Amino acid sequence: MFAVATANMVLRGDGKSNLNDEDFLKQNPLKLQEEFRANIGFMNPPYSQGKIDKNLTEIAFSDHLLNSILKDGKVVVIVPQSAMTGKSKEEKIIKANILKNHTLEGVITLNKNTFYGVGTNPCIAVFTAGIPHYKDKMVKFINFEDDGYEVQKHKGLVETIHAKDKKAYLLKVWHDEIEAPSKFCVKTTIEENDE
């Protein structure tokens, strides 16, 4: 990843992207908070690394990012749906710790072809860092599989004329500007054992 990012930076003439070739999971989250003072975190963790090392699951990366962001900051991760279920004992512990220390705002199920050809069912999870998830918190679960993109032969995933309208609708639902039917959005409380 570092080599690809560096090559991209050089080819684009950037020269100021502040890239670090380090193991993110070995960094102390409190030190990262102090050093970078980040209040927003985005991550697409490497998929299926948990099969190689149980400490490299998508939820472990998500937890580490949440712990590295300042209190009340926002964290957005795109992970396989299976990462949100907490299958193994270790993943269930991490999931419980996430809810003990952070708030899950919502989960958006994406088009199965978002990562065309990979064969994963992705979702986006949105959190507020450093604020424990309280019992009565209503969490949004949005089905955005029909996102206005379609697979076309020899092209892959392509935007249709409906994509912009569908994205606008999603954002209005997310920001509670409109009510959506339950087939699109469900608001419910969650507990650590829920998927």
pLDDT in tens, 139-179: 999 999 999 999 998 888 899 999 999 999 999 999 999 99
Domain extent listing, the chain? 31-188
- Beta strand 74-80 pairing with 103-110: unpaired
In the predicted model, is pLDDT for residue 75 greater than 90?
yes
The distance between the two most distant Cα atoms of the chain, rounded to a whole number of Å, is: 50
Contact 79, 125 (CB under 8 A): yes
C-beta of residue 120 within 8 angstroms of C-beta of residue 47: yes
pLDDT for 49 equals 66
Distance CA(58)–CA(46), nearest Å, equals 7
Mean pLDDT, range 85-113, rounded to an integer = 92
- Average per-residue pLDDT in the chain? 89
CA distance 42 to 78: 8
Average of pLDDT values for 103-121?
Answer: 90
pLDDT surpasses 70 at 52: no
Q: Which CATH number applies to 31-188: 3.20.20.70, 3.40.50.150, 3.30.420.40, 3.20.20.140?
A: 3.40.50.150
Q: Which residue has the tokens 């964290």?
A: 75
Whether 19 shows a pLDDT value over 80: the answer reads no
Q: What pLDDT sits at residue 74?
A: 98
